[in-house]
Amino acid sequence: MTLEVAGQWFEIKKFSNDITLIREPYVLGGAFTNMWHIRGRDKDLLLDTGMGVLSLREHVTILREKPVVCVASHCHFDHIGGHHEFEETVIHESEAAYLESANHNDISLTDFRDDSFDALPYAGFDISTYTIQGVRPTKTVKDDDILDLGDRSLQVLHLPGHSPGSIALWEEKTGILLTGDVVTEGQLLDELLHSSKDDYLQSLTRLRGIKANMIYPGHYEPFSRIRFQQLIDEYIEGKRKPGCPTLGSSS
């Protein structure tokens, strides 16, 4: 089947004056990556950069308005494709080498090439040669580190399980939580090459205690605290070993 060229590759949706969603609606069969832009006083933050088939900075105006700290929620290829475009790049310390080499994929690019695009980003784009460009991170983070944007600060939560260096970003002042792939409306993937079910269980048990008002995930739509806790409880109950105590019902 011959694919048509998309009229506009990036979709941009403002959720508030300081939170904007950027995504590529023609990839991964609708399970495209959410790229979250958070506006700060001194600099902005961008969490994840999608597939990297077109330049984010060239096509998305808000990414050129002030300095951007570009953060990777984790190093799977659909989250780091555009990181090389930014001067300040951040990732958890356990996945720094993967971001630089860009050859660490729990699911290989070859497996996705035939059916991961519903349209082409430009005429002549060759899916068979699609690859990711690596970049050396300018900063690595660990659990409880703070990313300071001048008038707001986001706390790094290290939540291994989906991948060794998966992180979420938590802003207690506003109650927003950016979860990457740790919690989404889709299946929580814990059987990839470098996943750990035990780590995932511990991470979600910890995460359930976060009093978030709104959750901005790495895929699909944002959701509220009630749905957030429901998704976590469903995973924990599904993985619980016989004889383990039940999860408390606090909210």
Asked whether residue 3 is assigned to any structural domain, the reply reads no
Asked whether residue 4 is assigned to any structural domain, the reply reads no
Is residue 188 within 8 A of residue 235, CB to CB? The reply is yes
Please report which helix (H) or strand (E) contains residue 38, including its range.
strand 35-38
Residue 20 bridge partners (DSSP): 14, 37
pLDDT exceeds 70 at position 244 = no
Asked whether residue 245 is assigned to any structural domain, the reply reads no
Q: How many domains does the chain have?
A: 1
| CATH number of 103's domain | 3.60.15.10
Residue 87 dihedral angles phi and psi, to the nearest 5°? -75, -35
pTM attached to this predicted model: 0.91
Pairing of strands 44-47, 68-71: parallel
Asked whether residue 58 is assigned to any structural domain, the reply reads yes
- The pLDDT tens digits for 85-110 are 999 999 999 999 999 988 654 444 44
Q: Domain containing 67: what range?
A: 11-239
d(Cα 149, Cα 39) in Å, to the nearest integer? 8
Chain-wide mean pLDDT for the chain? 90
- The pLDDT tens digits for 139-194 are 999 999 999 999 999 999 999 999 999 999 999 999 999 999 999 998 999 998 88
With a CB cutoff of 8 Å and minimum separation 6, the contacts of 139 are 88, 89, 90
Asked whether residue 111 is assigned to any structural domain, the reply reads yes
Q: For residue 20, which of 80, 59, 60 has the smallest C-alpha distance?
A: 60
